[in-house]
Amino acid sequence: MKSEKIASKVWKIYGGKGLCSNIYLVDVAEPTLVDLGSFENADGLVEVLKGIGYEAKDIINIVFTHLHPDHVGQPSKFEYAKFFAGKEEIDAFNKNPNGAAIFEDAIKELKKIKLIPLGEDIAGMKVLKTPGHTIGSVCLWLPEQKILFSGDTLFGNGVYGRVDLATSVPEKMHNSLESLESLKYKVLCPGH
């Protein structure tokens, strides 16, 4: 895995084995990770963080844009962190873990932690509900730097996340994408 500084106090962590989402370290208010990538890349993530100057114990918050296995990694590596996701995403996981988290590794990891529903903001970022890819997908907006962390809602070049999965709500994706368009972001930080 590698890291790249993309703005003041914001890093992108990417690469690794198999399907792994991008991970973002945002330390504007307090050290916060946006997503954790995949289960098999957890040790690589911890090593990359050390290279940036952070230990796993330094991470205060972890925000999941949604609970798919390529985003939830191994939360147990971050024993001092609090874990957040959209309320609708947490409800979907509690109702049907196989539909929300898909793979057994991700389900086991998520059952080990307490998921806290996101409010309107966290660690200097505004929380935006963007259902479509999943019922509880969220994006994060860092207004001062005009950075949008879009998870699997929006990728580059207008491409968006698939909407044919168990907890997808395809009828809501259009409105979610329209709400993001109005932000006039300078930097897009997608999940993939």
> What residues does each domain of the chain span?
2-190
- Sequence-distant (6+) residues with CB within 8 A of 119 are 127
Q: CA–CA distance from 178 to each of 33, 35, 75, 173, 185 (Å)?
A: 26, 23, 32, 9, 13
Using an 8 Å Cβ cutoff, are 148 and 139 in contact? yes
* 71 Rama sector, left if φ>0, alpha if ψ -120 to 50, beta otherwise: alpha
Looking at residue 39, the DSSP 8-state letter turns out to be G
Low-confidence ranges of the chain (pLDDT < 70): none
- Per-residue pLDDT, 157: 83
- Per-residue pLDDT, 18: 85
- Per-residue pLDDT, 77: 96
- Per-residue pLDDT, 67: 98
Using an 8 Å Cβ cutoff, are 45 and 13 in contact? yes
Looking at 2.60.120.260, 3.30.470.20, 3.40.50.10780, 3.60.15.10, the CATH number of the domain 2-190 comes to: 3.60.15.10
- Per-residue pLDDT, 156: 87
Cα torsion angle, 127, 57, 45, 19, sign? negative
